[in-house]
Amino acid sequence: MIIGCALCMELIDATAVMTALPQMASDFAAPSVRMNLVVSLYMLATAVFVPVSGWAADRFGPKRLFQLAIVLFILASLACAASTSLLQLCLARILQGAAGAMMVPVGQVLLLRWSPRQDLLRNLSYLTIPALVGPMIGPPLGGVLVTFASWHWIFLINVPIGVLGLLLVQRHVPAFAGVVGERLDWRGFVFSGVGLGAMVFGFEALGHRLLPLPWVFALLVAGGLSAALYIWHARRCARPLLDLSLLRIPSFAVSFWGGNLMRLGTASGPFLLVLLFQLCFGFSALVAGLLTLAGGAGAFLMKLLAVRVVRRFGMRRTLVVNALFTGLSFMGCALFDADTPYWVIVLVLFGGAIIRSLQFSTLGGLTYADVPAQLSSRASSLQAMTVQLSMSLSVGLAATLLGGLMSLRGHERLEASDVAWVIVLCGLMCMASGLLFRRLSPDAGRDVYGPAL
Estimate to the nearest angstrom the gap between the alpha carbon of 162 and the chain centroid: 20
What is the model's pLDDT at position 298? 65
Closest CA to 439 of 209, 252, 274: 252
| 175 secondary structure, DSSP code | P
- Tell me which residue of 133, 108, 134, 127 sits closest to 50, measured CA to CA: 108
In DSSP notation, 107-172 reads HHHHHHHHS-GGGHHHHHHHHTHHHHHHHHHHHHHHHHHHHHS-THHHHHTHHHHHHHHHHHHHHH
Q: Indicate the residue type of 230.
A: Y
Measured CA to CA, the distance from residue 313 to residue 444 in angstroms comes to: 11
> Residue 327's pLDDT band (boundaries 50, 70, 90)?
very high
- Is the pLDDT at 208 greater than 70? The verdict is no
Q: What is the pTM of this model?
A: 0.76
Q: Examine the pLDDT at 341 and tell me if it is beyond 60.
A: yes
Q: Would you say 95 and 75 are in contact if contact means Cβ atoms under 8 Å apart?
A: yes
Report whether pLDDT(90) > 60. Answer: yes
pLDDT value, residue 401? 83
Whole-number percent of the chain with pLDDT over 90: 11
* pLDDT for res 320: 92
**pLDDT, tens only, 393-450:** 777 778 778 877 887 888 778 888 888 999 999 999 999 999 999 988 888 767 666 5
- How high is the mean pLDDT of the chain? 80
C-alpha to C-alpha distance for 202 and 216, rounded to whole angstroms: 5
Which stretch, 298-302, 388-392, 414-418, has highest mean pLDDT?
414-418
Residue 299 has pLDDT above 90, yes or no: no
Q: What integer pLDDT is reported at residue 97 of this predicted model?
A: 86
Query: Cβ contacts of residue 304 below 8 Å, gap of 6+?
Result: none
Mean pLDDT across the stretch 112-135?
A: 69
Residue range 152-177, pLDDT digits in tens: 888 888 888 888 888 888 888 777 77
* pLDDT value of position 220: 87
pLDDT tens by residue, 232-256 = 988 888 778 777 888 888 888 898 8
Mean pLDDT of 349-378: 81
Q: What is the pLDDT of residues 301-320, one digit of tens each?
A: 666 677 788 888 888 888 99
DSSP secondary structure code for residue 335 in this structure:
G
Which of 185, 195, 194 shows the shortest CA–CA distance to 237? 185
Give the pLDDT of residue 394: 79
